[in-house]
Amino acid sequence: MSTLIRGGTVVDAETSCRADLLVVDGRIAAIAEGLEAPSGAAVVDAGDRLVIPGGIDPHTHMQLPFMGTVASDDFYTGTAAGLAGGTTSIVDFVIPNPQQSLMEAYTTWRGWAEKAAADYGFHVAITWWDESVHADMGTLAREHGVASFKHFMAYKNAIMCDDEALVSSFTRCIELGALPTVHAENGELVFRLQKQLVAQGITGPEGHPLSRPPAVEGEAANRAIRIAEVLGTPLYVVHVSAEQALEAIARARGEGQRVFGEVLAGHLLVDDSVYRNLDFTFAAGHVMSPPFRPRHHQDALWAGLQAGHLHTTATDHCCFCAPQKAAGRDNFTLIPNGCAGIEDRMSLLWHYGVGSGRLTPSEFVRVTSTNAAQIFGMYPRKGAIRIGADADLVLWDPVATRTISASTHHQNVDFNIFEGRTVSGVATHSFTRGLLAWADGDLRAVRGHGQYLKRATGGAYIEASAKRRG
Ligand code: DUC
Ligand code: ZN
Ligand code: ZN
């Protein structure tokens, strides 16, 4: 099956140029001006649009069992919504319960993900430690293409990874050529602050950011970075939301340490005033961790993205509907943590990033796609427009506008933290391995089309770190 995408401007991480693209059997087969359509090929006219690599969201939680409930977007609805917004791959998380075998959890998540409409990989979380975890990390990295492991430094008495497990796991990552990642919040402090606030009678959503102040994130980010420094591993810090965490990353990078940072569209754009809104449903709809921050953190995060201290943009897509959030009506610590975003990240980054002059179109491609592919062992199959790469392609209208709303989005959730924002920059067509899954408002996502992404360990920067260790 082949498709000719005719007449667009191809934008990748380096440059942009006019070119037609021929897609054959799900891969890019030719890139040149004036290509002829082979007989039987579908022809899509790109017109004045850009042709960009499909977005990669390196941080999602589809149908995650969490805080007594299950995230409402499953692997089908969530990836379909992603396609409607120009995101064609995700890296989700396998999160074993403490004492649960990693392999068992991985098998469970692989089963859940079979319905995905777009390609997916998995980071696997280290929530406890013993010899079986050590062994399973080896099996996952060597046989199943799990090239990154996640460590929650928060969520005490649940999935929190203590320093002992963190050190053991980072050490194992070095042996395997895998990349450790951290959710950086000091879980002991969060636990204590939550108890104090509830005891003082602060039980509403306004307590959520008070229990997780920026210093809690800064401390954990710095601790993880210094542990990584001592052991000699690269490190990826997920959802950097606070200036203090960003400063820790920038400082370490300035000292020659290889630390990558991820920022969420939500943390770039939403501030903490949402938690003081007296409408519980509205305030609880914004409860995620780390929380949204006072506005000056947003300026710092944008600057961090421009300066190259933050490398990827993600969403932490983890949806809960109002009845699920209501579990915490009398106690904010019980509000399921998580917000949606997979459908809107690309438009938001274009509108507020490229539209404001903070990012060039190629920088947009880097932070929405290419950098994630490179850091997480998927490049150049993903994140690139080159012959042989997967035809995960998006036709991008840089001037079309749309207004974001829960009433029109495709995400399976009744709330949108970007409600009412009108953004310029719209995915008009999304191809996933050559399949046209989104065309001018028509969602044609195919349940089960998505394939598991085996990712490569031991990439160039892992090798470079090994050299530095000597
Ligand atoms: N934060 C969230 O808000 N939800 C899921 C997990 C996480 O770390
Ligand atoms: Zn997290
Ligand atoms: Zn997350």
Count Cβ atoms below 10 Å from residue 357 Cβ, excluding itself. 8
Q: Nearest CA to 55 among 448, 307, 317, 302?
A: 317
Count Cβ atoms below 10 Å from residue 27 Cβ, excluding itself. 16
Q: How confident is the model at residue 365 (pLDDT cuts 50, 70, 90)?
A: very high
Q: For residue 181, is pLDDT > 90?
A: yes
313 Cα: distance to centroid of ligand 3 (angstroms): 13
426 occurs within a structural domain: no
Bridge-partner residues for 314, per DSSP?
264
Please write the tens of the pLDDT for every residue from 186-236: 999 999 999 999 999 999 999 999 999 999 999 999 999 999 999 999 999
pLDDT value of position 461: 87
Start-to-end Cα distance in the chain: 49
What is the spatial distance between Cα 439 and Cα 430, in angstroms, rounded to a whole number?
Answer: 7
Q: Nearest CA to 378 among 68, 148, 96, 46?
A: 148
Contact residues for 24 (Cβ-Cβ < 8 A; gap 6+): 1, 2, 434
Residues having CB within 6 Å of any atom of ligand 1: 61, 66, 183, 288-289, 316, 318, 337-338
What is the spatial distance between Cα 250 and Cα 462, in angstroms, rounded to a whole number?
Answer: 19
158 Cα: distance to centroid of ligand 2 (angstroms): 13
pLDDT value of position 459: 87
Q: How confident is the model at residue 131 (pLDDT cuts 50, 70, 90)?
A: very high
The CATH number of whichever domain residue 135 belongs to comes to 3.20.20.140
**Would you state the torsion angle of the CA atoms of residues 201, 204, 206, 208, taken in this order, to the nearest 10 degrees?**
90
Nearest CA to ligand 1 atom 5: 338
State percent of the chain over pLDDT 90. 97
Q: For residue 421, is pLDDT > 90?
A: yes
367 Cα: distance to centroid of ligand 3 (angstroms): 18
198 occurs within a structural domain: yes
CA–CA distance from 352 to each of 302, 347, 382 (Å)? 10, 8, 24
* Section 89-99 average pLDDT: 98
- How many domains, the chain? 1
462 occurs within a structural domain: yes
Residue whose token pair is 């470079």:
464
Residue whose token pair is 């497990």:
165
Q: Nearest CA to 59 among 139, 138, 125?
A: 125
pLDDT value of position 329: 98
Domain with 78, as residue range(s), is 55-379+454-466
pLDDT value of position 40: 95
**468: amino acid identity, one letter:** R
Q: For residue 446, is pLDDT > 90?
A: yes
Contact residues for 245 (Cβ-Cβ < 8 A; gap 6+): 184, 214, 217, 218, 220, 221, 222, 237, 261
Query: Can you tell me whether residue 254 is helix, strand or coil?
Result: helix
Q: How confident is the model at residue 460 (pLDDT cuts 50, 70, 90)?
A: confident
pLDDT value of position 292: 98
Q: Nearest CA to 236 among 260, 256, 258, 217?
A: 260
Please write the tens of the pLDDT for every residue from 37-68: 999 999 999 998 999 999 999 999 999 999 99
249 occurs within a structural domain: yes
* Section 112-126 average pLDDT: 98
What is the spatial distance between Cα 144 and Cα 5, in angstroms, rounded to a whole number?
Answer: 34
Query: Can you tell me whether residue 32 is helix, strand or coil?
Result: strand
Relative to beta strand 259-264, strand 312-314 is parallel
Instruction: Provide the residue count of the chain.
Output: 470
410 occurs within a structural domain: no
pLDDT value of position 115: 98
Give kind and range of the element (H or E) at residue 43.
strand 42-45
Give kind and range of the element (H or E) at residue 424.
strand 422-432
Please write the tens of the pLDDT for every residue from 230-263: 999 999 999 999 999 999 999 999 999 999 999 9
State percent of the chain over pLDDT 70. 100
pLDDT value of position 24: 98
CB 162 within 8 A of CB 220: no
* Section 118-139 average pLDDT: 98
Q: For residue 1, is pLDDT > 90?
A: no
**pTM of this prediction?**
0.98
Contact residues for 164 (Cβ-Cβ < 8 A; gap 6+): 129
Atom of ligand 1 nearest to the CA of 155: 8
pLDDT value of position 136: 98
CB 385 within 8 A of CB 45: no
Q: What is the mean pLDDT of the chain?
A: 98
**Would you state the torsion angle of the CA atoms of residues 125, 70, 212, 302, taken in this order, to the nearest 10 degrees?**
80
Beta strand ranges found along 241-392 (DSSP E): 259-264, 312-314
For ligand 1, mutation pick of 59, 66, 275, 334 (most atoms within 8 Å of CB): 66
Q: For residue 371, is pLDDT > 90?
A: yes
pLDDT value of position 212: 98
Q: For residue 470, is pLDDT > 90?
A: no
For ligand 1, mutation pick of 264, 337, 339 (most atoms within 8 Å of CB): 337
51 Cα: distance to centroid of ligand 2 (angstroms): 32
384 occurs within a structural domain: no
351 occurs within a structural domain: yes
Per 3-state DSSP, the chain is made up of helix, strand and coil in percentages (nearest 5) of: 35, 25, 40
DSSP label at residue 2: E
pLDDT value of position 444: 98
CB 131 within 8 A of CB 156: no
Please write the tens of the pLDDT for every residue from 311-354: 999 999 999 999 999 999 999 999 999 999 999 999 999 999 99
238 occurs within a structural domain: yes
